[in-house]
């Protein structure tokens, strides 16, 4: 079983889904991706999560992010579960759910943790960049629902820091000040970030969000 770490290349796969047979890389194309797993169909917390994900699809699309979910149940079960999700969450599931009956994708992404459950996947999130490297990994316990606002915030940070020499501080949200990369000397930073650099400490310098 593989262990996926930050910076690794996300494994490619072809799988049956609620929207037909899909190749993961082809599905993502040259954009970003978010892959999230669920222990099983017809589970209460996951029902709320998939409904929420569907409602957030436009926000992910604004960021050029495609969503894809996974459960170890089959396509027929997924179809029945989707009807329940649509009914109870007042939405329409608008992204594919992988039918990982043989645990192939779960094993590729190390989603089965024996100390949690021998056969069911843990509730993991992988955010994948256009170059197919893994940029974020989160694993939630079965009792705690995912925060999709936080996932959007993380994607905003990942996309900002991918193209600018900055980092995002605690509780950062789009438009807040950002941290200048420690590798850039202050004088160079002032030339680079024309909106201004606030030097709190030599190693802690803030500048306005260059994308705001």
> 115: which residues sit within 8 A by CB, 6+ positions away?
none
Match 């593989």 to its residue by tokens: 2
Q: How many CB atoms lie within 10 A of CB 98?
A: 26
Q: Are 141 and 166 a contacting pair, CB within 8 Å?
A: no
Q: Which residues are 201's β-sheet partners?
A: 204
Beta-carbon neighbour count of residue 47 at 10 Å? 19
For residue 206, give the H/E element and its range.
strand 204-207
Q: According to DSSP H, which parts of 56-185 are helical?
A: 57-62, 75-89, 104-108, 148-163
Q: Considering 28, 46, 69, 108, which one is annotated as catalytic?
A: 46
Question: CA-CA distance, 154 to 150, in Å (whole number)?
Answer: 6
Sheet holding 32-38, edge to edge: 20-23, 14-17, 97-99, 65-71, 32-38, 123-128, 134-140
First to last CA, the chain: 42
Q: Which two tokens stand for residue 53?
A: 């994900």
Catalytic residue at 112?
Answer: no
Point out the residues that are catalytic.
46
């Amino acid at each position: 079983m593989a262990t996926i770490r930050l910076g690794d290349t996300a494994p490619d796969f072809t799988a049956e889904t609620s929207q037909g047979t899909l190749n993961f890389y082809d599905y993502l194309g040259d954009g970003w991706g978010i892959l999230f797993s669920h222990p099983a169909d017809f589970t209460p917390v996951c029902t709320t999560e998939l409904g929420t994900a569907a409602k957030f699809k436009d926000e992910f699309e604004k960021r050029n992010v495609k969503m894809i979910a996974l459960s170890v149940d089959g396509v027929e079960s997924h179809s029945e579960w989707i009807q329940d999700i649509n009914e109870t969450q007042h939405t329409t599931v608008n992204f594919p759910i992988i039918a990982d009956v043989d645990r192939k994708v779960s094993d590729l992404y190390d989603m089965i943790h024996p100390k949690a459950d021998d056969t069911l996947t843990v509730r993991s999130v992988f955010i994948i960049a256009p170059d197919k490297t893994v940029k974020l990994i989160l694993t939630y316990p079965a009792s705690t629902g995912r925060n999709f606002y936080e996932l959007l915030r993380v994607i905003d940070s990942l996309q900002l820091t991918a193209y600018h020499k900055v980092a995002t501080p605690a509780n950062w949200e789009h438009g807040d000040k950002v941290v200048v990369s420690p590798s850039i000397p202050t004088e160079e930073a002032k030339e680079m970030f024309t909106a201004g650099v606030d030097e709190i400490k030599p190693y802690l310098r803030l500048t306005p969000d260059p994308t705001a």
